[in-house]
Amino acid sequence: SDVNGNQAPETSENEVWRKDGDKVDLAEQSLLNKIIRRSLVRNRNQVEVLQRDPSSPLYSVKTFEELRLKPELLKGVYNMGFNRPSRIQENALPMMLAQPPQNLIAQSQSGTGKTAAFSLAMLSHVNTANKWTQCLCIVPTYELALQIGQVIEQMGKFCPDVKMAYAIRGNRMERGTKLQEQIVIGTPGTVLDWCTKYRHIDPKKISMFVLDEADVMIATQGHRDQSIRIHRMLTKDCQMLLFSATFEDSVWRFAEQVVPDPNIIRLKREEETLDTIKQFYVLCKEKEDKFTALCDLYGCLTIAQAMIFCHTRKMASWLTTNLIKEGHQVALLSGEMTVEQRAAVIERYRNGKEKVLVTTNVCSRGIDVEQVSLVVNFDLPMDMDGNADNETYLHRIGRTGRFGKRGFAVNMVDSKHSMDIINQIEMHFNRRIKKLDMSNLDEIE
Ligand code: ADP
């Protein structure tokens, strides 16, 4: 139970055990992204738009004015500091606001403006004269619901007649009480109960249905089934909008089930490359030796910021303790921290308060590596069979965009096995990883 006495949502089924023994909770990862995203993610990639009706003119907007929003809503948008629509908003907003209503499936990485887009669509859609629920938005967890609610509240600040409610566990009303709030955000289980058992919401009166974080949603069988049951109660005239950060086949199959005749907008993730990175390895005997090498390296380089990856939480905390003893300002990101604690550490690191961040792999998402000039694989990334984990390697040290800043990656090699991994990585990416001579560190700069 949280401070409000609300039951925590069942996220446990979303947990995936990663190779390095740390748990990733997809919903938590998503929440973390939301907490630390204060600004839009830059993205140079083109938006792919697939129109349901190719004969109707495709239109996109470059300004919020072109959307002909209610003045008080436009004021809310500008009040949030938004000057112009983001890449996906340029296309998604006109589609979501079109008459007659259009269905939409939209996929783009987190931080590209999806939440802001559908929040705006819901606020614009509401008929304030009607005191019943018209827009229904479902998300995987209670915390994610609150995040969206905050956006709606901020954006709708000058629309006092638009009301919103949370359909989350712990929010209780007498059976049969009809909600007057036009917008409801909730988790699938509670929304389903409110539509069926408690009859707080009449699903036949819902005219806009938003399913956010579809990829996280379907990772839990229960959520997936509940979402489909809610969807079945809606009328065929209800506008369906589905959002996802990723788009594997399973998400796609689910999306097609929930969104008939969709328009589709996709923003490809920028590809990461190793082109702007100089890669090295250092031969060491054991962890103390690796530690010494790390300190030497750090002492010799003019480094903006460094990120150091360890295999286990235990190693990460050992390393942090020892780096602090050496007088370094170090932050530690570790799996047992709460989302808020992790967000705070990432925030401080991003603002340059700490120059070194020690982390296990699962924690590193959400950190922009562009500003990190040195990445150290204190332990090399490998899969459960002990083979090189190329994908993780690329994700740790790769940069996006051709003009990404230059950087160094140093791999600590302490056994024949880890040398094999370096060779595998070299082969896979067809890029040389040079041996670093610790007595002559000039060559790296
Ligand atoms: P997503 O849902 O895709 O993760 P969000 O809608 O949460 O993305 O947006 C990410 C961040 O960018 C948020 O801090 C949000 O306030 C901001 N943002 C969204 N749209 C705009 C815009 N048009 N202009 C400026 N900032 C924006």
State the Cα torsion 194-198-204-205 to the nearest 10°: -70
The binding-site residues of ligand 1, defined as CB within 6 angstroms of any ligand atom, are: 34, 37-40, 82, 85-86, 89, 110-116
Question: From the alpha carbon of 110, which atom of ligand 1 is closest?
Answer: 4
Please tell me the residue having the least CA distance from ligand 1 atom 24: 82
Of 11, 6, 42, the C-alpha closest to 29 is 11
Q: Count of alpha carbons within 13 Å of 281, Cβ hemisphere only?
A: 22
Please tell me the residue having the least CA distance from ligand 1 atom 26: 82
d(CA 232, CA 236): 9
- pTM of the complete model: 0.84
Please tell me the residue having the least CA distance from ligand 1 atom 19: 113
Structure tokens belonging to residue 244? 């996802």
Structure tokens belonging to residue 44? 């140079």
Q: What is the pLDDT along the chain (445 residues), one digit of tens a residue?
A: 333 434 333 333 444 444 444 445 788 888 888 887 777 877 667 788 888 877 776 689 999 999 999 999 999 999 999 999 999 999 999 999 999 999 999 999 888 999 999 999 999 999 999 999 999 999 999 999 999 999 999 999 999 999 999 999 988 888 889 999 999 999 999 999 999 999 999 999 999 999 999 999 998 889 999 999 999 999 999 999 999 998 889 999 999 999 999 999 998 877 788 888 899 999 999 889 999 999 988 877 667 789 999 988 899 999 999 999 988 889 999 888 888 898 899 888 888 888 899 998 766 666 766 778 899 999 999 988 889 999 889 988 887 765 567 788 999 999 999 999 999 999 999 999 999 987 777 766 6
Given ligand 1 and candidates 31, 36, 37, which is best to mutate, with the most ligand atoms within 8 Å of its CB? 37
Rounded to a whole number, what is the distance in angstroms from the first to the last CA of the chain? Answer: 52
Distances (CA, A) of 61 to 45, 67, 90, 184: 17, 7, 5, 28
Question: From the alpha carbon of 64, which atom of ligand 1 is closest?
Answer: 23
Burial class (CB in 10 A: 0-12, 13-18, 19+), 350: middle
Contact call for residues 99 and 114 (beta carbons, < 8 A): no
Residue 116 CA to ligand 1 center (angstroms) comes to 6
Given ligand 1 and candidates 33, 40, 350, which is best to mutate, with the most ligand atoms within 8 Å of its CB? 40
pLDDT (tens digit per residue) in 85-120: 999 999 999 999 999 999 999 999 888 999 999 999
Residue 174 CA to ligand 1 center (angstroms) comes to 37
Of 218, 221, 265, 209, the C-alpha closest to 91 is 265
Of 120, 125, 114, 126, the C-alpha closest to 74 is 120
Structure tokens belonging to residue 221? 């069988």
Contact call for residues 425 and 395 (beta carbons, < 8 A): no
Q: Which residue has the tokens 């170090």?
A: 330
Please tell me the residue having the least CA distance from ligand 1 atom 5: 113
pLDDT (tens digit per residue) in 372-428: 889 999 999 998 888 999 988 998 888 776 556 778 899 999 999 999 999 999 999
* Polymer length in residues for the chain: 445
Please tell me the residue having the least CA distance from ligand 1 atom 20: 113
Q: Give the model's pLDDT for residue 437.
A: 83
Question: From the alpha carbon of 86, which atom of ligand 1 is closest?
Answer: 23
Structure tokens belonging to residue 335? 């799996």
Question: From the alpha carbon of 109, which atom of ligand 1 is closest?
Answer: 3
Contact call for residues 347 and 353 (beta carbons, < 8 A): no
d(CA 31, CA 25): 10
Question: From the alpha carbon of 85, which atom of ligand 1 is closest?
Answer: 23
- The angle formed by the CA atoms of residues 382, 384 and 388, to the nearest 5 degrees, is 25
Q: Count of alpha carbons within 13 Å of 263, Cβ hemisphere only?
A: 27
Residue 144 CA to ligand 1 center (angstroms) comes to 15
Contact call for residues 252 and 225 (beta carbons, < 8 A): no
Q: What was the ipTM of the complex prediction?
A: 0.99
Distances (CA, A) of 411 to 229, 320, 428, 434, 439: 50, 18, 16, 10, 17
Please tell me the residue having the least CA distance from ligand 1 atom 25: 82
**φ, ψ for residue 271 (rounded to 5)?**
-75, 140
Please tell me the residue having the least CA distance from ligand 1 atom 23: 85
Residue 413 CA to ligand 1 center (angstroms) comes to 41
